[in-house]
């Protein structure tokens, strides 16, 4: 084995690392920082030290996962002082840019899935993502998180239980989801409260994330009627809004623009023909991938 596997070989794993770190952290910007730090640690080694690593991809994955564990621990502390509700950073369906920086759009990055991951402990989240999403063995997970394979099996089992509890009703099909999102958009634009009430589950919840940077509800809005009236009031007060149907975290969602700038990205959780949850990300720092 050569002293340096070569930039192309190492860089070829960037896509895997970005996808892994995003699912672990729920933040594209944090995921990019983790990957940058991972590569920095690789190139901080001497050629002789690099030469002792038989599988660079496995080393990169192990280091990135351990950094994610540290980030998750500190993130919990940071979010205690976060202004309002914290929602994972939404990602668009992008075909431009570097393919290595693209997030693979599947069910494991749906907003509903990421929100459940937020309820897990850092160890549960890392163990679950590595084993259930990326199919690493429990022995490999154990080496990464510093626990026994049996302990990692238990962590992943606890994580699965959280997901099962949070998703008692199956999500809609892609076609059903798209139809409901389109109908919600039309009802919102026409300020049709009756139509909105017909689309919202009676116990629906709407959550907004402004991060203290822009005006946003600090607490969730509970109940279909309150949510419907809230969105109608937005349509009445705001002028010049443009609401677009776009893919948000692999599912049909909505993007709100004003004066050519993205001011909100909405992800919706749909079961059958009813909306159960709406997540509205307004924090400008989380809308960076949606500009331009």
Range with lowest mean pLDDT among 2-16, 129-143, 194-208, 223-237: 2-16
Neighbours of 34 (CB within 10 A): 26
Neighbours of 234 (CB within 10 A): 15
The dihedral through the CA atoms of 52, 55, 59, 64 has a sign that is: positive
Q: 248 pLDDT exceeds 70? A: yes
Categorize the per-residue pLDDT at 61 as very low, low, confident or very high, splitting at 50, 70 and 90. Answer: very high
Name the architecture of domain 174-290: Roll (3.10)
CATH topology assigned to domain 7-162: Butyryl-CoA Dehydrogenase, subunit A; domain 3 (1.20.140)
Strand, helix or coil for residue 30 = helix
Please report the pLDDT score of residue 75 as a whole number: 84
Please report the pLDDT score of residue 8 as a whole number: 57
pTM of the model: 0.89
Segments making up each domain of the chain, as ranges: 7-162, 174-290
Strand, helix or coil for residue 104 = coil
Q: d(Cα 141, Cα 21) in Å, to the nearest integer?
A: 15
Q: Which of 90, 251, 94, 280 is nearest to 175 (CA)?
A: 251
Please report the pLDDT score of residue 191 as a whole number: 96
Above pLDDT 90, what percent of the chain?
70
Strand, helix or coil for residue 262 = strand
Q: What is the pLDDT of residues 160-210, one digit of tens each?
A: 988 877 765 666 788 999 999 999 999 999 999 999 999 999 999 999 999
Q: What is the pLDDT of residues 216-240, one digit of tens each?
A: 889 999 999 999 999 999 999 988 8
Q: Which of 146, 165, 136, 182 is nearest to 275 (CA)?
A: 182
Q: 9 pLDDT exceeds 70? A: no
Categorize the per-residue pLDDT at 99 as very low, low, confident or very high, splitting at 50, 70 and 90. Answer: low
Please report the pLDDT score of residue 292 as a whole number: 63
- What are phi and psi for residue 25, nearest 5 degrees? -110, -25
Please report the pLDDT score of residue 3 as a whole number: 44
CA angle, corner 190, sides to 189 and 192, nearest 5? 115
Residues 6+ apart with CB under 8 A from 2: 51
Q: 1 pLDDT exceeds 50? A: no
Better-predicted residue by pLDDT, 12 or 126:
126
Please report the pLDDT score of residue 153 as a whole number: 96
The dihedral through the CA atoms of 192, 197, 199, 204 has a sign that is: positive
- Side-chain half-sphere exposure of 185, counting CA atoms within 13 A: 21
Q: d(Cα 103, Cα 22) in Å, to the nearest integer?
A: 8
Categorize the per-residue pLDDT at 59 as very low, low, confident or very high, splitting at 50, 70 and 90. Answer: very high
Q: d(Cα 66, Cα 38) in Å, to the nearest integer?
A: 10
DSSP bridge pairs for 267: 279
Q: d(Cα 78, Cα 86) in Å, to the nearest integer?
A: 11
Please report the pLDDT score of residue 83 as a whole number: 92
DSSP 130: I
């Amino acid at each position: 084995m050569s002293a340096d596997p070569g930039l192309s070989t190492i860089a070829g794993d960037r896509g895997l690392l970005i996808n892994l770190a995003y699912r672990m952290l729920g933040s594209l910007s944090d995921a990019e920082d983790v990957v940058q730090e991972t590569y920095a640690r690789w190139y901080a080694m001497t050629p002789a030290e690099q030469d002792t690593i038989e599988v660079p991809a496995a080393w990169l994955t192990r280091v990135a996962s351990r950094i994610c564990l540290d980030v998750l621990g500190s993130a919990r502390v940071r979010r205690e002082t976060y202004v309002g509700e914290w929602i994972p950073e939404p990602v668009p369906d992008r075909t431009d840019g570097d393919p290595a920086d693209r997030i693979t759009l599947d069910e494991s990055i749906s907003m509903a899935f990421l929100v459940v991951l937020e309820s897990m402990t850092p160890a549960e989240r890392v163990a679950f993502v590595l084993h259930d999403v990326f199919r690493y063995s429990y022995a490999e997970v154990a080496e990464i998180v510093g626990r026994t394979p049996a302990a990692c099996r238990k962590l992943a089992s606890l994580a699965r239980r959280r997901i099962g509890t949070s998703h008692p009703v199956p999500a809609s099909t892609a076609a059903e989801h798209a139809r409901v999102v389109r109908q919600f958009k039309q009802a919102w634009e026409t300020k049709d409260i009756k139509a909105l009430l017909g689309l919202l589950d009676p116990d629906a919840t709407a959550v907004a994330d402004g991060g203290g940077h822009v005006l946003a509800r600090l607490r969730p809005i509970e109940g279909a009627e309150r949510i419907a009236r809230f969105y109608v009031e937005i349509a009445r007060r705001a002028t010049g809004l443009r609401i677009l149907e776009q893919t948000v975290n692999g599912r049909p969602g909505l993007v709100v623009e004003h004066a050519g700038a993205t001011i909100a990205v909405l992800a919706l959780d749909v079961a059958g023909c009813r909306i159960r949850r709406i997540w509205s990300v307004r924090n400008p720092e989380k809308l960076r991938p949606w500009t331009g």
